[in-house]
Structure 1
Amino acid sequence: MSYKVDVQPSGQVFEVAEDQTLLEAALAEGMMLRHSCREGTCGTCKGKVLAGQVDHADSDLEVLTQAERDEGFALFCRAKACSDLQIHAPEVTELKGISIQKTAARVGSIDRISDDVAIVRLNLPPTMPFNYFPGQYAEVILKDGSRRSYSMATVPGESNQLEWHIRNTGGTFSRFVYDDLKEKTLLRLEGPFGTFYLRDTDKPMVFVASGTGFAPIKALLEQLAAQNNTRPVSMYWGGRQLKDLYMHQWVVDFAKNHDWLTYTPVLSEVADGDIWDGATGYVHHQVLSDFSDLSGYEVYACGNPLMVDSARKDFTEQRGLDEENFFADAFV
């Protein structure tokens, strides 16, 4: 049995089977509902069900509270339809033209840029364009069927090449990438996924990254440069030590060449050997220190879930940021 889902305000319709989540069904029909982790842990896909009934399945009450459920909200990556539905998802029209596809990619180069981060460049088939919005991610499909997600760190280009920043977390794939991955290795990919992308407004922006959360932020910076941006951007990149800001000089040089960008690096645990007189502490705390009011801003945050969740809570509760203007990609 299947149900119809009416997407507002666009009026588009897709069908969802009983055993599918709303997000799975929408993506299968080329409709990019807002999402990030697709595992029910980040809350990005939270949306309003305007009419009809859903089964919240295993949605975590810490991510989707009972009060939110009572108000009609659901996590689209976990919710399943129990009837025909009408949902509110204005982002569908913004992402028109982006479709999910599976493709092969061959490793073009591996640059082990620090003691635990590798920059991997992947060459896609020249006859198969891979369209994505800067800020989105793709998944590598491993031999056992498991998947790992990595954000594209550059804008789509004529070379049809992807750039990933992969930290060696000790996991099977990231350890393999850092220790043993070779050029010309063939990988299977699927994507793009995610709705972390620049919105077309005139609001000034704050970018907040931790660790390799810098990768999609780098893509956004390149996009803005290509568009001859004039919107002010305040960028904050946090790491424990200076080595964690593995492209620090790249950002410094980029900021020198683009007067719309202000860059503030932040270290939480300065190493004994680091020569550092910059900001210290948690990266989102530095934003709180620098801004007394974020009500007129857009914030783009990417990194570990604790940083993203803390930034969302503190920016909205303490600095007046409209939660609709907080866009995030949590690396879960």
Structure 2
Amino acid sequence: MTFQVDIQPSGQKFALEADKTILDGALADGLMLKHSCREGTCGSCKCKVASGSVDHADSPLEVLSEAERAEGMVLTCRARATSDLVIDAPEVGELRGICVQETAARVGAIDKVSDDVAVVRLMLPPSGPEFRYYPGQYIDVQLKDGTRRSYSMATSVPVDNQLELHIRHMPGGKFSGHVFEAMKPREMVRVSGPYGSFYLRDSERPMVFLASGTGFAPIKALLEQLREQGANTRPVHLYWGGRRRKDLYQHNELLAMAAELSWLEYIPVLSEPSNECDWQGATGFVHLQVLADFVSLENFEVYACGAPVMVDSARRDFVAQRQLAEERFFADAFV
């Protein structure tokens, strides 16, 4: 059985098979509904059904409450249609022209920039459709057992038809362990994407970019986008946090970029600097440094990526203590 889904206010429509989630059906039709984790845990894909009925399936109550369900709210990554639907999804128009693809890619290079971070470049097929994405979005890498791992693209566009990923070696990690212990150039992997709603909004507001660890990857893509535009006038305050100096694996490149670009301020923060590194910069938790530096974030947008505890703490504290509008805090829900 197939239902029709009408997206408002854009007026776009797509056919949705009864066994597919609303989000999967939209993505398959080239419509990029707002989303992040695609597993029902972050709430980013929450939207309102203006008319029609759905099966909420396994939508967690802690993410989508009974009261929200009664008001017509759904998690599009979990919900399935049981009738034709009209949904309110205002951001879909901003992502026109971006379609999810699945393709093979070949490992072009593996650059271990620290003892636990590798910059991996994946070569896309030389023929076939162009792989387009918004700076800030991510891909899934499919493992041999069918499981997937998500990584953000670290450049604003593919460079030499390659995707750049920043991968941290996680203890016991299936894919990251393979990257550090066995992966070789020219190895084939399968990827799909782009996914996610982490991208620059069109506004004139000043911005805080907040990253921890390899959460810097999508932030780097946003910085490149702004530099390539050539006439950016929006101030950017970039905070990058790590435990040790080596966690800031592109620190020198950022110092050079900040010296080049009048609109960029770079504030590195270490929570556990060693005596050997002779650290002269800020110390502590990175989001607390933002709180120390700003009396108000009322007129700002914040783009955050990194450890979930950092992202969640920043969202809570910036809204409660620095008057940030919650709808102007943008984040992806994975490390």
Task: Give the TM bin, normalised by the shorter chain.
Answer: over 0.9
Alpha-carbon distance, 1:273 to partner = 2.5
CA offsets, 1:143-187, max 9 Å, x none?
221111111001214611110000000211101101221111111
Query: What's 1:199 paired with?
Result: 201
1:277 to 274, 277, 280: 280
Q: Distance in 1 between matches of 2:276 and 2:46?
A: 44
Q: Distance in 2 between matches of 1:311 and 1:64?
A: 21
**TM-score normalised according to structure 1 size:** 0.96
Query: What's 2:290 paired with?
Result: 287
Q: Distance in 2 between matches of 1:158 and 1:282?
A: 33
2:79 maps to amino acid: A
Query: What's 2:316 paired with?
Result: 313
Q: Distance in 1 between matches of 2:71 and 2:13?
A: 23
1:62 aligns with 2:65: no
Cα contact 1:42–1:305 (8 A) shared by 2 = no
1:164-175 equivalences in 2 (<5 Å): 164-170=165-171, 171-175=173-177
Q: Distance in 2 between matches of 1:57 and 1:315?
A: 33
User: 4+ runs of 1 displaced by more than 3 Å?
Assistant: none
1:70 maps to amino acid: A
Q: Distance in 2 between matches of 1:323 and 1:137?
A: 23
1:284 maps to amino acid: H
Cα contact 2:110–2:185 (8 A) shared by 1 = yes
1:50 maps to amino acid: A
Q: Distance in 2 between matches of 1:206 and 1:57?
A: 37
Alpha-carbon distance, 1:253 to partner = 1.1
Query: What's 1:219 paired with?
Result: 221
Cα contact 2:158–2:164 (8 A) shared by 1 = no
For structure 1, the residue ranges without an aligned partner over 5 or more in a row are: none
Q: Distance in 2 between matches of 1:296 and 1:126?
A: 44
Query: What's 1:122 paired with?
Result: 122
1:71 aligns with 2:74: no
Q: Distance in 1 between matches of 2:313 and 2:46?
A: 17
Query: What's 2:307 paired with?
Result: 304
1:308 maps to amino acid: V
- The DSSP-based 3-state class of the residue aligned with 2:86 is strand
RMSD: 1.5
1:268 aligns with 2:271: yes
2:92 maps to amino acid: V
Give the fraction of aligned pairs with identical amino acids, expressed as a percent: 63
CA offsets, 1:116-150, max 9 Å, x none?
00001111122232111111111111222111111
Alpha-carbon distance, 1:54 to partner = 2.4
Q: How many residues align?
A: 332
- Per mean C-alpha deviation after superposition, the further-off stretch among 234-243 and 214-223 is 234-243
1:302 maps to amino acid: C
Q: Distance in 2 between matches of 1:71 and 1:270?
A: 49
Cα contact 1:213–1:303 (8 A) shared by 2 = yes
1:257 to 256, 260, 269: 260
CA offsets, 1:191-247, max 9 Å, x none?
111111111111111111111000000010011000012210011111111111111
1:303 maps to amino acid: G
Q: Distance in 1 between matches of 2:186 and 2:327?
A: 42
> Structure 1 pair 72/314, CA: closer, same or farther in 2 (3 Å)?
farther
> Structure 1 pair 61/292, CA: closer, same or farther in 2 (3 Å)?
farther
Q: Distance in 2 between matches of 1:34 and 1:124?
A: 26
Alpha-carbon distance, 1:63 to partner = 2.2
1:210 to 209, 212, 219: 212
- The DSSP-based 3-state class of the residue aligned with 1:197 is coil
Q: Distance in 1 between matches of 2:205 and 2:306?
A: 22
1:309 maps to amino acid: D
- Per mean C-alpha deviation after superposition, the further-off stretch among 219-228 and 311-320 is 311-320
Q: Distance in 2 between matches of 1:269 and 1:48?
A: 44
- The DSSP-based 3-state class of the residue aligned with 2:106 is strand
Alpha-carbon distance, 1:277 to partner = 2.5
Alpha-carbon distance, 1:82 to partner = 2.7
**TM-score normalised according to structure 2 size:** 0.95
Cα contact 1:51–1:85 (8 A) shared by 2 = yes
1:61 maps to amino acid: L
2:210 maps to amino acid: V
